[in-house]
């Protein structure tokens, strides 16, 4: 059951990272097609450029996370320690010919 859970969560992480990648790529494409006008407030321009840089950096990080994170999640679900407890059984069997009911 742990391996099935690990697989499900790693696939969910892959889907999440792909979704983020797609959204960031779409936003960066939109920013390239419709850049901020040159007469914009310098603070707005600085914020716009900082957002663009942050998205570009995040896009590069996503490529690394797609390789690393699903494997890390699967590793979390691997059984690291197996416990085996010795069990002893004692049978009490009456000796033949010695019936206590008499």
pLDDT for 33-91, tens place per residue?
877 666 778 888 888 889 999 999 999 999 899 989 999 998 888 877 778 888 888 88
Query: Other CB atoms closer than 10 Å to residue 16's CB: what's the count?
Result: 12
Q: In angstroms, what CA-CA distances link 96 with 16, 91, 100, 101, 102?
A: 72, 15, 11, 13, 14
Across 21-35, average pLDDT: 89
Q: In angstroms, what CA-CA distances link 101 with 5, 19, 52, 91, 94?
A: 58, 79, 93, 20, 12
Q: What is the pTM of this model?
A: 0.65
Q: According to the model, what pLDDT value does residue 79 have?
A: 78
Residue 1 near residue 77, CB atoms below 8 Å: no
Burial 60-93 (b: 16+ CB within 10 A, else e): eebeebeeebbeebbeebeeeeeeeeeeeeeeee
């Amino acid at each position: 059951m742990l391996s099935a859970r690990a697989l499900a969560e790693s696939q969910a992480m892959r889907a999440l990272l792909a979704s983020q990648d797609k959204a960031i790529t779409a936003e960066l494409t939109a920013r390239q097609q419709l850049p901020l006008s040159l007469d914009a407030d310098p603070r707005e321009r600085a914020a716009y450029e900082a957002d663009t840089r942050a998205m570009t950096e995040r896009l590069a990080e996503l490529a690394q996370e797609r390789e690393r994170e699903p494997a890390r999640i699967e590793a979390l679900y691997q059984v690291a320690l197996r416990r085996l407890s010795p069990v002893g059984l004692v049978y009490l069997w009456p000796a033949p010919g010695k019936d206590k009911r008499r």
